Structure 1
Amino acid sequence: MTILFKVFLCLILIFCCSSLVNCTEFEVGGHDGWIVPKSKDDDQMYNQWASNNRFKVNDTLLFKYKKDSVMEVIEEEYEKCKSSHPLFFSNNGDTVFKFNQAGLFFFISGVSGHCDRGQKMIIKVLDIEATPPPQSANDTAQKPHKSGAAEMTPMRTITTLAIFVLSTLCFILV
């Protein structure tokens, strides 16, 4: 193989791997997770959390909860806080939901009464490839975890490390 071909192959490999890093995993509710709001005044806490973040296709939500569930539903079911046929359902306590398209997504708790008490959320997923973070790294460091800022997840860290190792190997081989 020629050196030019090896360089070209390495660049394609790096480009393909780096596209995996463009997604973000958001932990719904921060440290508290997916819970029933503590007071009536907090009944919009998840929608406020969602409005502080910018979601795009391929981003994921991580719902952490105990003795609960999460459902993706249509808007009518969101308004009624009931669904007999959700678009998505999980009750494993550690649910990951991936956005596969742009648009509005409606989530409610599947436990009777929880949605009525504010455990529900609307997320708008933008129709763009990549977006700048909603705040700078300095802003995130100064705010508490509950601010809704996305955190670097282990999967993103591993992907970033893999890209670095692959790019280093490619240029050593060339």
Structure 2
Amino acid sequence: MAASGRLYGLVVMVVVVAFLVGHGGQKVAAEMDHVVGSDRGWDPSSDLASWLSGREFRVGDKIWFTYSAVQGRIAEVKSKEEYESCDLSNPIKMYTDGLEVISLAEEGIRYFLSSKPENCKRGLKLHVEVMPKESPRIEVSSDSAGFEAPSPSASTPLVGGSFMLSLVVLAFYVGF
């Protein structure tokens, strides 16, 4: 009975190791939730330029806007010109709930502005360049509100710790 249990364990380990090796040990890049402005949210006191720096947005990600009614609404506009001039005359959509979850369903650039022109002109606006889902992610700083996990870089070992652990367990089952 013990021999059949060890054989079953060996088969399971071989399948796991084969899976890891077959996939190159790479992790699948997960869809991410980005909380705009981190702890401060969508607020004139937020440093959105710093928050945006080094951040990547991919198809399938979501951006979360948290704001109070005092800050006004959030307008999504169509063009770079509308974005740069804080032109709210023809928005694509107005967001009014105070908590908005916006799915980034396709590639391209999206522009968001404060509906209060004075806040927009002081920098309460955001442009998001949505990149393809397939390309590798760049690791983001730790100031990401706890919603993002770094992806493997080009220097990541072939399969990493999981592969090594699998080999140790396999050696244990084989009896080395």
With the shorter chain as reference, the TM-score category is 0.5 to 0.7
Kindly, what percent of the aligned residue pairs are identical? 27
The amino acid across from 2:122 in the alignment is R
Q: CA deviation at 1:22?
A: 2.8
1:29-77 C-alpha deviation (Å, 9 max, x unpaired): 0110000137xxxxxx313322221110111110000012112112111
TM-score, length-scaled by structure 1: 0.60
The match for 2:51 among 36, 49, 54 is 49
Q: CA deviation at 1:130?
A: 5.6
Matched with 2:94 is 89
Matched with 1:72 is 76
Where structure 2 has 5 or more consecutive residues not aligned to the other structure, the ranges are 1-28, 149-176
Matched with 1:106 is 111
The amino acid across from 2:73 in the alignment is S
Please say if 1:35 is aligned against 2:39: no
After TM superposition, where is structure 1 displaced by more than 2 Å over at least 4 residues in a row? Answer: 128-133, 147-150
RMSD of the alignment, in Å?
A: 2.5
Larger radius of gyration: 2
The amino acid across from 2:51 in the alignment is W
Q: CA deviation at 1:95?
A: 0.8
The match for 1:25 among 29, 33, 45 is 33
1:103/1:48 CA distance change after superposition, 3 Å: farther
Matched with 1:127 is 132
Distance 1:35 1:107 in 2: 13
Higher relative contact order (CA 8 A, sep 6+): 1
Q: CA deviation at 1:27?
A: 0.3
The amino acid across from 2:60 in the alignment is N
Matched with 2:147 is 151
- Aligned to 1:30, what secondary structure does the other structure show? coil
Distance 2:146 2:107 in 1: 19
User: How many corresponding residue pairs?
Assistant: 119
Distance 2:146 2:80 in 1: 26
1:89-134 C-alpha deviation (Å, 9 max, x unpaired): 1011001111121122111111231101110111111123363352
TM-score, length-scaled by structure 2: 0.59
Q: Which has the higher helix share?
A: 1
Matched with 2:123 is 118
Where structure 1 has 5 or more consecutive residues not aligned to the other structure, the ranges are 1-20, 39-44, 141-146, 153-174
- Aligned to 2:139, what secondary structure does the other structure show? coil
1:7-44 C-alpha deviation (Å, 9 max, x unpaired): xxxxxxxxxxxxxx831111000110000137xxxxxx
1:80/1:148 CA distance change after superposition, 3 Å: same
